[in-house]
Amino acid sequence: MSGVTLRGLFSRKLRTILTMIAIVLGVSMISGTYMLTDTINTAFNQIFQTADRNIDAVVVPTSPIGGFSGGPTPPLPASVLALVRHTPGVAFAEGDVGAEASIYDLNGNAIGAVGGAPTLLFSVAAPRFRSTTLVSGHWPVGNQLVIDKTMFAKHHLHLGQVVKVIAAGPATRMTIVGTTRFGSTGNLGGAATIDLPLAVAQRVTAETGKFNQISVAAVSGVTPADIVQRIRAEIPHSLRGRVKVETGTQSAQDASSAISNGLQFLTIALLVFGGIAVFVGAFIIFNTFSITIAQRVREIGLLRTLGATRAQILRSVLLEAFLIGLVSSLLGLLAGIGLAQLIHAVFKAFGADLPSAGLVLEVRTVIVAILVGVLVTMAAGFVPALRATRVPPIAALREGAQLPRSRFARFTPWIAGIVGALGVLVLIAGVFASISSVGTRLSIIGAGAVLLFLGVAMVTPKLVRPLAAALGWPIERMTRITGMLARDNASRNPTRTAVTAAALMIGLALVSFVTIFAAELRASADAAVNREIAGIYSIYNDQGQPIPRAVAPAVARIPGVGAVSALDGDAARVNGSVSNIYGIQPSTILAIYRFQWKQGSDAAVTGMGPLDALVSDTFASGHKVGVGSSLRVTTATDRHLTVHVVGIYKSSQFLTDVTLRYDTVRSDWSQGQDEIVSANPRPGANQKAVQRRITALLKSEFPIAAVHSQQQIKQNAEKSVNQLLTLIYVLLAMSVLVSLFGIINTLVLSIYERTREIGMLRAIGTTRGQVRWIVRWESVITAVIGAILGLAVGILLAAVVTQGLSSQGIVFTLPIGSLLIWVVFAMLFGIVAAAWPARRAARLDILQAIAYE
Amino acid sequence: MLEAPDTTVTSARPVVAAEHLTRLYGEGQAQVAALRDVEVAFQPGTFSAVMGPSGSGKSTLMHLLAGLDRPTSGTVTIDGVELNGLNDKKLTLLRRQKVGFVFQFFNLLPMLTAEENITLPLRIAGERVDEASLRQLLEAVGLADRKEHRPAELSGGQQQRVAIARALITRPAVIFADEPTGNLDSQSSREVLDMLRRAVDDLGQTIVMVTHDAQAAAVADRIVFLEDGRIVRDEGHLTADQILDVMKVLR
Ligand SMILES: Nc1ncnc2c1ncn2[C@@H]1O[C@H](COP(=O)(O)OP(=O)(O)OP(=O)(O)O)[C@@H](O)[C@H]1O
Ligand SMILES: [Mg+2]
């Protein structure tokens, strides 16, 4: 029997290849994701190992509020360095500075890494700890710096050039005196790096006398573990909570795992999209197996008359599925290498040349790829395989024998209804139930969506005829015969058309869901700006970096500027959990911001004392506090204070958890900079002229900040929503591509079945062009059925999810225009999918076609 | 009944004519001559049968005459148009206008009703369907009460009658029938042959029919016998017994 299977696969080469593509694409995305993230992880691992290779121990500050949330961790005081140096066994110890910074040329143009990678500022390390090598020039003294050679080349800098460096401290002009490289080849994984003399680095980062890390070398004979123990013993109790001592190796590992935690989100997101592509592929496998088995009814009947048992037939079909799954997985793995390499090359093009020895292919990747490919193919082939076993031996003798209807066929609509309804229920549960973990919530929503898709796909065969009739009508009016025959062909085998359309439905449901959701996000951002922002000018950094404190007073001095209000952003532990903290200036905030009060009023702001707090409604309900409650606040600098709630505002994208007075947050918190400075023109001043003056000031003095009108805030919000939208479209493209092959496959198989009909049509005067259009219109009808169902499901998904987010100010909208574009897209998609099958059909040799049996 | 086509003016000219028609298959040693230098012409309003042993070239001749295949050498002329110079598109349009087909396996579209199958050639040509003549045609082939049925709901004989009506509806210059009774029982065969005969007698339709069946050929006005790719006999009307006698002589 297995011989028959194999020969069957080879003789149906084309179909087999088309079927395999459906699985190859999805598997390539999954394996590519693993390879990519493994490669990045390994690369950073190498970077950190290199950076810490000669360091026996490091002493770093930790934040008492913990984790990576919130502002930067306050640096170590100089006293710690003295302490470490006096520890027995320490041969050498130095304090280092490392922080994010921005560099500008003297015209105010940013010199930075491309693609969102940060610019990192370091103090020049002692030679024994150095992981960077000088490529040209000399190490810096005074107001000089060296820069990594990648940035140097990218921005066409030259030695002796003066640039402006901005971190938390005052902006400083510095001369480039050299270039460096990291480790043996590259840069810090795409980040731009500059090295400054320690004292200058401390001044620029406003950390005079302080350090972000102390690097330690032990005397020979003392192991890193020993020296760590000894230093720990020296740290006084008062500092224990704020200082971490560990070996260089551990520190490198910590840093790597921080990177891989950061990558986890990317990994999961990419895997989800790969999974969707595989899910779509399963529909195509199911369809192909159903069609080929229907076409082989006589052959199967013959095998049965020759004595093959049902179990043997089942095994033969499942073996075929297994082989297709296995080969597809292996090809998917190969394609995944290509995909990962492609993305890697894109990274490289953006300057992020990771110092990798090559693509990392873990055993786990191979196992997952093969398991997913084989299991999905076999699962999708199982139902058709079962139906094959029901072919009676007599089928061998009958002309045009049909596959017997499944025993459960008449229950299908019921099962479909139940599955679909269950999907909606799970979806609603996922959206509305109180679940703390976002991951769990999304998994439940995902499971609901999968059930909904299956339910809709199962009910689709019943919808194909009416939908094809409705869609065929205008086409038939327009084209007459080709449209009519296309419509008839599409509805001839409703299940086949339904499953093909359903594969596209999934992609387009998700596409229309995100289209709707993005429109809602844009609308809510617009509404929030209109509702809450009263300031005419908003000054902030477009990448979300903080801006210097000196901006607000400088802007206030500009002629024509009226009220100026600075907003500080920080994080603290409030009543046990890490929360966002905003610092507002009560005397001016009301001129630039409109609070949406739940409890309290603007008077609560004007009369705000140093230990008064405003909280958002979500924070209040989450922490079960109200006006009059007191909150225990622990800052990143380990300060403890108790504040009292005097008002509750509606949470917004501008103000979330807790708002305190600016000077309270300012006094000794970690964040030394402002988040936003907002200003209004003086009454009667020329609004445009004032904006020009602010722009000029920022450009020359504070290039890190830019002024935005309310319109520009909206546009920026729109831009970031659109960027995300584009990214998701790109990721969903793989699933849509899989469904494209589904349509091609179905068309090719159907044309093969209708060879004789096509021959007859050609004989009686149908031109090649007409034959092509018959195939194209069938494809368009199938694709548009998929689009209509996809839109319907997408709208349902969006409606449910929007309802769940209504408290966030997100309102259900239907961007009809954008959604219709997807229907047009589906039509074009259908025409593209039909291109090759239509050519094949038109090229059929008439004589062979009519002689064909 | 339908109007007879106006054949009086062109009666002198054959509807279909072949000159020096040769069709070779394959290359070199394996080369087969399916037709060798065949000369034949069919006059308007005649019913001709093409007979011969299996492999003698009957189908090949019909395909060449109908413009479904191209000869290795020689020419075919349909209703005054020489086919050799035509590209695929022109040839298709010529078949659409001037040629009708009846196949052994009926070749109806399963999704269309009998009526829709019949009007298919008109729709392909983008022409209006004349309801009155359609009704007449349905009457003539005895399918007036079956016009809404799909092929699967019709008997073989009824399906072949639909196919004949489909061939007739465009009033082609010539209808080619390749073993139209090959798949039918004797009763249905008689009905189908009777219908073809009436199309010739009542409508002046020209029909060329390839057949193995002496009973079928006996309905024709003329019988062309092929052997080994050549026309070996060209007779007028013969009875079934006479035909069988001729066939016995042929290989
Ligand atoms: N496509 C082809 N390739 C090669 N040889 C062919 C091809 N078609 C026909 N032939 C050969 O040409 C010869 C005539 O074939 P044709 O089909 O015309 O015979 P026929 O008279 O219709 O036979 P039958 O009564 O069996 O239908 C045969 O020898 C056949 O093998
Ligand atoms: Mg033949």
CA distance A837 to A18: 12
Check B97 against A485: CB less than 8 A apart. Answer: no
B95 and A CB contact within 8 Å = yes
Residues of B in contact with A847 (CB under 8 A): 63, 68-69
Place of tokens 């490529």: A135
Residue B27 CA, ligand 1 centroid: distance in Å: 15
Give the whole-number percent of chain B exceeding pLDDT 90. Answer: 27
pLDDT digits (tens, 9 = 90+) for B51-96: 988 888 898 999 999 998 889 999 999 998 889 888 888 999 999 9
CA distance A490 to A377: 25
| Distance from chain centroid for Cα A567 | 29
Residue B62 CA, ligand 1 centroid: distance in Å: 11
What residues 139-178 of chain B have any CB closer than 8 A to a CB of chain A?
Answer: 166-167
CA distance A830 to A472: 14
Integer-rounded Cα Rg, in Å, for chain A is 33
Residues of A in contact with B109 (CB under 8 A): 485, 488, 757
CA distance A823 to A829: 9
pLDDT at position A9 is 58
The helix (run of H) or strand (run of E) holding residue A751 is helix A710-753
| Residue A299, both tokens | 């052959």
| Distance from chain centroid for Cα A621 | 30
CB contact burial A473-497 (16+ within 10 A = b; e otherwise): eebbeebbbbbbbbbbbbbbbbbbb
Residue A765 in contact with residue B125, Cβ under 8 Å?
A: yes
CB contact burial B183-197 (16+ within 10 A = b; e otherwise): bbeeebbbbbbebbb
Check B121 against A764: CB less than 8 A apart. Answer: yes
| Residue A432, both tokens | 């509305």
- A188, β-bridge pairs: A191
Task: Considering only the beta carbons, identify the residue of A480, A492, A769 that sits closest to B111.
Answer: A492
pLDDT at position A388 is 87
| Distance from chain centroid for Cα B25 | 23
| Distance from chain centroid for Cα A435 | 22
pLDDT at position A852 is 52
Place of tokens 């003698």: B56
- A613, β-bridge pairs: A645
Task: Considering only the beta carbons, identify the residue of A481, A485, A847 that sits closest to B63.
Answer: A847
Residue A88 in contact with residue A222, Cβ under 8 Å?
A: no
**How wide is the angle at C-alpha A102 spanned by C-alphas A99 and A105, nearest 5°?**
145
Pairing of strands A192-196, A119-123: parallel
The Cα of A288 is separated from the nearest Cα of chain B by a number of Å equal to 22
pLDDT at position B236 is 85
Residue A339 in contact with residue A359, Cβ under 8 Å?
A: no
- What predicted TM-score, i.e. pTM, was given to this entire model? 0.84
A762 and B CB contact within 8 Å = yes
Task: Considering only the beta carbons, identify the residue of A484, A492, A765 that sits closest to B121.
Answer: A765
Residues of A in contact with B110 (CB under 8 A): 492
pLDDT at position A71 is 58
Helix (H, G, I), strand (E, B) or coil at A106: coil
Residue A447 in contact with residue A481, Cβ under 8 Å?
A: no
B98 and A CB contact within 8 Å = no
Pocket of ligand 1 (CB under 6 A): B 25-26, 32, 34, 52, 54-60
Task: Considering only the beta carbons, identify the residue of A489, A491, A765 that sits closest to B96.
Answer: A765
CA distance A331 to A21: 9
Q: How confident is the model at residue B12 (pLDDT cuts 50, 70, 90)?
A: low
Check A765 against B93: CB less than 8 A apart. Answer: yes
| Residue A744, both tokens | 């091609």
Distances (CA, A) of A537 to A125, A391, A540, A602, A702: 42, 76, 10, 21, 16
Q: Which of B21, B22, B25, B225 to mutate to test the pocket of ligand 1 (most atoms within 8 A of CB)?
A: B25
| Residue A728, both tokens | 């998701």
The minimum-distance atom of ligand 1 relative to the CA of B59 is 22
Give the chain B residue whose CA is nearest to the CA of A399. Answer: B105
CA distance A330 to A336: 10
ipTM exceeding cut-off 0.95 for this assembly = no
CA distance A840 to B74: 30
Residue A104 in contact with residue A166, Cβ under 8 Å?
A: yes
| DSSP-assigned states of every residue in A685-750 | S-HHHHHHHHHHHHHHH-TT-EEE-HHHHHHHHHHHHHHHHHHHHHHHHHHHHHHHHHHHHHHHHH
A488 and B CB contact within 8 Å = yes
Does residue B2 have a pLDDT over 50? no
Pairing of strands B16-25, B32-42: antiparallel
Of the listed ranges A219-233, B7-21, B24-38, B90-104, the one predicted with least confidence: B7-21
B86 and A CB contact within 8 Å = no
**How wide is the angle at C-alpha B206 spanned by C-alphas B205 and B207, nearest 5°?**
110
DSSP-H helix ranges across A480-571:
481-492, 494-532, 551-556
CA distance A5 to A313: 10
CA distance A52 to A131: 8
- The residues near A409 (Cβ < 8 Å, ≥ 6 apart) are none
- Would you call A745 exposed, middle or buried from its count of C-beta atoms within 10 A (0-12, 13-18, 19+)? buried
Check B101 against A764: CB less than 8 A apart. Answer: yes
> Splitting chain A (853 residues) into consecutive groups of 10 residues, what average pLDDT does each group show?
58 78 92 89 83 86 67 81 90 90 86 74 88 90 91 89 87 92 71 90 88 90 90 85 87 85 85 92 91 84 82 89 94 92 76 65 92 94 88 71 67 86 90 80 90 92 90 86 88 90 94 93 90 90 84 92 89 87 90 90 90 92 91 85 93 88 79 85 90 90 88 90 89 91 90 89 92 94 94 93 82 89 93 93 86 58
Residue A762 in contact with residue A771, Cβ under 8 Å?
A: yes
pLDDT at position B10 is 45
pLDDT at position A411 is 78
pLDDT at position B4 is 46
Residue A441 in contact with residue A430, Cβ under 8 Å?
A: yes
A465 and B CB contact within 8 Å = no
- Picking from A628, A655, A630, the residue whose alpha carbon sits closest to that of residue A640 is A630
CA distance A20 to A332: 9
